[in-house]
Amino acid sequence: MADLAFDLDTFAVQGEVPDYLAGLPVGRHDIRLGTIGYRVVSVERGGARYCLLHDIALHARREQRLAWMLGLMVMTITMLSALGGIWLSRTVVAPVTELAAKVRHRSPNDWEHPLAGLVKILVRNLVRNAFAYTAAGSVVLRQDAASLTVSDTGRGIPGHAIEQVFVRHYRDLSSEGAGIGLSLVKRICDRYGWRLRLESKEDQGTVVTVGFS
């Protein structure tokens, strides 16, 4: 149920306002209708009474999702700084950290999604792989509610080798590491039904996108 705002006086004229709403004093109230809990905020403006009604459980889920996304952003920013030797401006880091702390008001681990550990492994491997193949240029990470994209301007992957990069222990001879990064990413995506897409052009760079929905 979406948040619902309505004018009590208008509804009263039509005879549609339940007594338990019309009789509420100005302020915030928690009520329960059957098995669903609602939060009602009653205010007066210009002689009229208004109510804002929303589903408490739905609101809590929204908060938890936002907190998880902000926590992932903080983790990603910190990791990018450590892996790439990047000194990030405080004007970038501080607002995100402050906002995450405000949303995470119940406990330090409120934002921790059950799959957060796997998401951290996935992001770490994608970013490490991007840096390994990018001697000069940039590595960019983009995240929204449904997907995560890591792109680089490195040397790219030859067309015939794109499928091989998902095979355990495969690696370019000129790269470092044991060659398990992308294979682990693929295993995680396959396990949880996430979509994994890799686009790469030799000498131009690579874009890896993980779709979570």
Whole-number pLDDT of residue 197: 93
Whole-number pLDDT of residue 196: 93
pLDDT in tens, 13-57: 334 445 656 566 666 666 666 666 666 766 666 666 666 666 556
Q: Which residue has the higher pLDDT, 61 or 155?
A: 155
Half-sphere exposure of 62 (CA within 13 A, CB side): 9
pLDDT in tens, 168-212: 655 554 444 434 578 888 988 898 888 999 999 988 999 999 988
Mean pLDDT of 82-110: 50
Report whether 178 contacts 132 (CB < 8 A).
no
Cα(179)–Cα(109) distance, rounded to whole angstroms? 32
In the chain, where are the structural domains located? 4-58, 114-213
Whole-number pLDDT of residue 198: 93
Query: What is the end-to-end Cα distance of the chain in Å, rounded?
Result: 21
- Predicted confidence (pLDDT) at residue 5 exceeds the cutoff of 50: no
Q: What is the dotted CATH code of the domain comprising 114-213? A: 3.30.565.10
pLDDT in tens, 124-177: 888 888 888 888 788 888 887 788 899 999 888 888 887 788 776 555 544 444
5-14, 57-66, 67-76, 131-140: least confident range: 5-14
Cα(75)–Cα(210) distance, rounded to whole angstroms? 17
- Predicted confidence (pLDDT) at residue 123 exceeds the cutoff of 70: yes
Whole-number pLDDT of residue 1: 40
Whole-number pLDDT of residue 15: 40
- Is the Cα dihedral 146, 142, 63, 120 positive or negative? positive
If we measure between CA atoms, which residue out of 1, 113, 107 comes closest to residue 57? 1
Class of the CATH-defined domain 4-58:
alpha beta
